[in-house]
Structure 1
Amino acid sequence: MDAARREKREHGTLGFPFQIYPALDGSEAQDSDFIPYHWHPELEIITVDAGQVSVTIADHVYEGARGDVFFCAGEQLHEIRAAGRANQFHSFVFAADFLEFARGDQVQSELLAPLAEGRLQFATCLRRGEAGQDEVRALLAQIMRACLNRSPGYQLAVKAALLGVVAVCAEHGLLRELDRPASDYKARQLKEIVGYLSEHFAEPLPLPEVAARFGLSPQYFCTFFKDNFGKTLTQHINSLRIEQAARLLRETDLPVMEVGFNVGFDNFSYFIKRFRAVYGASPSAYRKGSGAV
């Protein structure tokens, strides 16, 4: 996925605005087990399929286990971490208005239109064993089978199952009205901060300069950042740098030291230390184990 900012990629097509990541047919390998903060106008359902997956939505970190389901609203900042091959997840991304009816019936006015307009949201987290979880997982499994088989009419099967998810969530009280618009000032400011960092993480980013860019004092910026992202500015920048370093190690033959410098580390030993802390291996061992060039 694109780095921590609004995604520019199309999810599905204009006629069928739905996509599963990573792709089920293996044509699109999951290129990272760390998806940095990003957002998009589509809704997203994230399932934990194996192991442990950390999902951050807005300002809350959820530790997900196999069977858990997470719902991310349109335009909502989120991040996914699934370190190692034993930890697996899938994301179902779709436009909310994909589910709407042309005829203005009761379901359209009470559920689908409010969902598409952001006035209604799914509950963020649905744990294994909670009411509705088995039904939602079964419907998502139907979607995966339909997308794998691609039989005539499979798009309708996908749409019907997504409507089924809405119905199950409504039945079990897993839809809630928003107290305030998702696009409030704080949300916009957070998106601006993440977008800026995603574009400049390979550059020197001293705290006073970053804070001043957003009209905040360094002390307030530190508190604001930690309260909303659950990590320090340095930790977030290092995560972006390590994720990009892993990509370069997989996709290029740049020397390891050059990779570290290219992503913004000016101390090679520190780069090795931070990389090992995330991936459990040195950059050289990671490159060898990934079958990179």
Structure 2
Amino acid sequence: MAKVISFQIPKSQREFVRYQEDRGRHFYDKLHQHPQLQLTVILEGKGQFLSGDYVGRFQVGDLFFLGENVPHVFRSDPEYFEENGKLSTAGNTIFFDFAALGTALGELEDLQALRKFKDFSGLCFQVLGETKSRILEIFDVFPESYGLARFQFAIQLLAILDQAGDSLVPLNRPTLIRGLSERDGKRMDQVMQFLLENRFRQVSLEEASEKANLSKEAFCRFFKLRTRKTFTQYLQLLRINEAQKLLQETDLPVSEIAFKVGFENLSYFNRSFKSILGMPPKAFRK
């Protein structure tokens, strides 16, 4: 499948299922969306997964399922962007293009179960447990399949997801408007990139609104509508997300981590961490 361009719908090639392997120093780092459903397994690399009001991390072995038109980005950690770095990323993705089924989706009784996936528009999930194991088994043989065998695997994957139950964990809530216009998408991408690059320093509302080319009042409305978070809350989420990484991967004292991720007050960092993750930093590290 061709690279999915940010906020542009790829022309249909009349394929119900497409398979893509991403290999490189870092994953595609622009906020983007597309009408195809997406099933992605992370084979190498780690970083932040952002989608709507969700701010979390991805790592090797994670499996994600995204509905139609979910604005999202797998943003590799900063070390993956270093010029002479030796790190690399790898991920495999299967796309499902329901538009390719035409009227069959609404007319064929055999395909009625697929219609529920239309309700997943704007939503993303992490796949866990036995469901994940069954899906990864199909991922192992999927690249060599073609024609009816590939179509059969695709339907089998959707059937597994249909019966996933609690193994399909919702990560975000649908935004008030599902999907973004190309203009709003580019604006949101600029803001996201700016926040990710500057999240460890004091970032003012004025700076962020200038990046979006909006007044402060208009920017606050724009941002809250698309993330369900205020600018300050979202920035705090990004910082706590980075603190999780440092708590897991380093032996740095909690006070130093708090300072590194942009908090000037340790007690405020502890309160913020607990309010978001339900436990203090030291307990999370253990």
Does residue 132 (structure 1) correspond to residue 126 (structure 2)? The answer is no
**Higher mean C-alpha deviation, range 52-61 or range 219-228:** 219-228
Aligned-partner SS, 1:76: coil
How many corresponding residue pairs?
A: 208
Change beyond 3 A, Cα 1:51–1:195: closer
Matched ranges for 1:34-49 at <5 A: 34-49=28-43
> Once the 2 structures are TM-superposed, how far is the Cα of residue 60 of structure 1 from its aligned partner?
1.0
Which residue of structure 1 aligns with residue 55 of structure 2? 61
Q: Deviations over 1:193-252 (max 9, x none)?
A: 3323558999xx9545556747834566676669279855xx9xxxxxxxxxxxxxxxxx
Q: Partners of 1:140 and 1:156 in 2: how far apart?
A: 16
> Once the 2 structures are TM-superposed, how far is the Cα of residue 143 of structure 1 from its aligned partner?
1.6
Instruction: Structure 1: give runs of 5+ residues left out of the alignment.
Output: 24-28, 147-153, 236-293
In the alignment, residue 42 of structure 1 is paired with which amino acid? Q
User: Structure 1 vs Structure 2: percent identity of aligned residues?
Assistant: 13
Tell me if structure 1 keeps the 8 A contact 2:42–2:62: yes
Q: Deviations over 1:233-288 (max 9, x none)?
A: xx9xxxxxxxxxxxxxxxxxxxxxxxxxxxxxxxxxxxxxxxxxxxxxxxxxxxxx
Which residue of structure 2 aligns with residue 144 of structure 1? 143
Which residue of structure 1 aligns with residue 282 of structure 2? none
Aligned-partner SS, 1:7: coil
Does residue 114 (structure 1) correspond to residue 116 (structure 2)? The answer is yes
Which residue of structure 2 aligns with residue 19 of structure 1? 18
Q: TM-score, normalised by structure 2?
A: 0.55
Which residue of structure 1 aligns with residue 150 of structure 2? 158
Q: Partners of 1:141 and 1:101 in 2: how far apart?
A: 31
Q: Partners of 1:97 and 1:51 in 2: how far apart?
A: 32
Aligned-partner SS, 1:169: helix
Which residue of structure 2 aligns with residue 6 of structure 1? 7
In the alignment, residue 91 of structure 2 is paired with which amino acid? F
Q: Deviations over 1:46-105 (max 9, x none)?
A: 111124343223221332232221011111101012343343212222312446894845
Q: Partners of 2:130 and 2:234 in 1: how far apart?
A: 32
RMSD of aligned Cα (Å):
4.3
Q: TM-score, normalised by structure 1?
A: 0.54
Change beyond 3 A, Cα 1:68–1:228: farther
Matched ranges for 1:270-281 at <5 A: none
Does residue 80 (structure 1) correspond to residue 74 (structure 2)? The answer is yes
Which residue of structure 2 aligns with residue 266 of structure 1? none
Change beyond 3 A, Cα 1:15–1:186: closer
Aligned-partner SS, 1:33: coil
> Once the 2 structures are TM-superposed, how far is the Cα of residue 15 of structure 1 from its aligned partner?
3.2
Tell me if structure 2 keeps the 8 A contact 1:142–1:161: no
Instruction: Structure 2: give runs of 5+ residues left out of the alignment.
Output: 81-86, 195-205, 239-286
Which residue of structure 2 aligns with residue 277 of structure 1? none
In the alignment, residue 126 of structure 2 is paired with which amino acid? C
In the alignment, residue 108 of structure 1 is paired with which amino acid? L
Change beyond 3 A, Cα 1:68–1:99: farther
Which residue of structure 2 aligns with residue 254 of structure 1? none
**Higher mean C-alpha deviation, range 33-42 or range 83-92:** 83-92
